[in-house]
Amino acid sequence: MDAYPIKLTFHVRSYAFGERLIPDLLGKPGVPEGVVAETWEVSDYRETTGTVTNGPYAGRTLHDLVEEFPDALVGEGWRGPHFPLLEKFLDASHMLPVHLHADDATARKKHGEPHGKTEAWHILWAAEDATILAGVRKEATREELFAAFKAQDYDAVMFRHPIRAGDTVYVPGGILHTFGPDTLIFEVQQTSDLGQFVMPEDLYGNRLPEAEWDANIEATLDELKTDYRPRPNPGLVLEHGANRRALCCAGPYFALERWDLGGPYTEPTHPRRCLTLSNVGDAARLEYAGGSETLGRGESCILPAAIGEVRIVPAGGTSLVACYVPDPEEDVVAPLQELGYSEEEIRGLGEVGV
């Protein structure tokens, strides 16, 4: 394939919890008027698959490229029905519904889909009093959970944590969660849109019939897991100096890093995995063997596995969110242990065995 930084169209969702933080605070250009709750930056999920906007593959869909160039685009030896990461900017000006996503086993058995939806939230901006609710108290019975959800008393059975910009929260499939109001995040997840909800309204704020609300709660309880308690984590620093790199979360499906660049930075070649970049700061120039591409504020791209070395030249205070599917030992555990981080600190990043 022609390996270059691939930019895609983004998909917009206007759920009731959003407002205008994505264009107004993040500075993302080209979004429509009205509520913009989510922009799906990198997606190969059904009808939301992005269309390439630059270079030789302009006009083709990401799904087309995944099918034609699995090794060169995603990574050597990779095979799958779709691109493995789905990434979005999400505006929680208002509280999100309390919900969960199926894990892999439930997705296959109950929904007939290839996998579930583990996700992570990297906090880009949050008001001083912003919080998350994530995870359910193990001692709560099904009856107590049902009653709490009907009373909309989520604090009675869930854990609340304060958050601030720079935190990351790793949320496996099956774990009940919500966040907002007054929060702007970058989210990385498995390529799925499965969800179960316990609130009395749908995603657009419409009141549900009582029987449908009850059925939704029961379906959520059927998929609920209590074996993981998400907590905000500031990440573990990999590199200091003019360029600061931090590993913010990691698990079997993705790793997320935050790069705050004050000078040029070179990302080495990774033939076994691609890398996605989302720019949440000033523009940057991406230089590679075949040329260069500018990544503006609020823009995202995919660096194919076959692209080779990429030099990133910031035009000011560039901040990038970088995501990839890791080899847990090689990409996460070994480098962090070499830097002196403890087993407890490494496990705190998500689902990483040490």
Angle value at C-alpha 318, between 314 and 319, nearest 5 degrees: 140
136 and 274 inside one domain: no
211 and 316 inside one domain: no
CATH number, position 164: 2.60.120.10
Residue 64 sits in which domain range?
11-223
Summarised one tens digit per residue, pLDDT across range 39-63 is 999 999 999 999 999 999 999 999 9
State the pLDDT at residue 25: 97
Summarised one tens digit per residue, pLDDT across range 317-333 is 999 999 999 999 999 99
Average pLDDT over residues 70-97: 97
Q: Is the pLDDT of residue 12 over 60?
A: yes
178 and 66 inside one domain: yes
Indicate the angle between helix axes 142-150 and 210-223, nearest 10 degrees. Answer: 140
**In a domain? residue 319:** yes
**In a domain? residue 230:** no
261 and 210 inside one domain: no
User: Which DSSP string corresponds to 244-293?
Assistant: EEEEEEE-SS-EEEEEEESS-EEEPP-TT--EEEEE-SS-EEEEETTEEE
State the pLDDT at residue 240: 85
State the pLDDT at residue 353: 77
129 and 272 inside one domain: no
Domain closes at, from 223, 254, 278:
223
Mean pLDDT of the chain: 97
**In a domain? residue 177:** yes
Round to whole Å and give the CA distance between 266 and 14.
37
177 and 320 inside one domain: no
In percent, how much of the chain has pLDDT > 70? Answer: 100
119 and 248 inside one domain: no
56 and 183 inside one domain: yes
Domain closes at, from 223, 249, 275:
223
State the pLDDT at residue 354: 57
Within 8 A by CB and 6+ apart from 230, the residues are 132, 134, 135, 169, 170, 171, 175, 177
**In a domain? residue 352:** no
Cα 52 to chain centroid distance, Å, stands at: 20
Q: Is the pLDDT of residue 315 over 60?
A: yes
216 and 260 inside one domain: no
State the pLDDT at residue 318: 96
129 and 198 inside one domain: yes
Average pLDDT over residues 186-196: 98
Domain closes at, from 223, 257, 289:
223
Average pLDDT over residues 5-29: 98
**In a domain? residue 5:** no
Round to whole Å and give the CA distance between 119 and 175.
10
249 and 304 inside one domain: yes
110 and 258 inside one domain: no
**In a domain? residue 2:** no
Q: Taking the CB of residue 327, how many other CB atoms lie within 10 A of it?
A: 13
**In a domain? residue 229:** no
Structure tokens at 172: 């496996």
β-bridge pairing 243-250 and 236-239:
antiparallel
Count the domains in the chain.
2
**In a domain? residue 305:** yes
Summarised one tens digit per residue, pLDDT across range 258-301 is 999 999 999 999 999 999 999 999 999 999 999 999 999 999 99
Identify the burial level of 155 via C-beta atoms within 10 angstroms of its C-beta, where 0-12 means exposed, 13-18 middle and 19 or more buried: exposed
Round to whole Å and give the CA distance between 88 and 28.
12
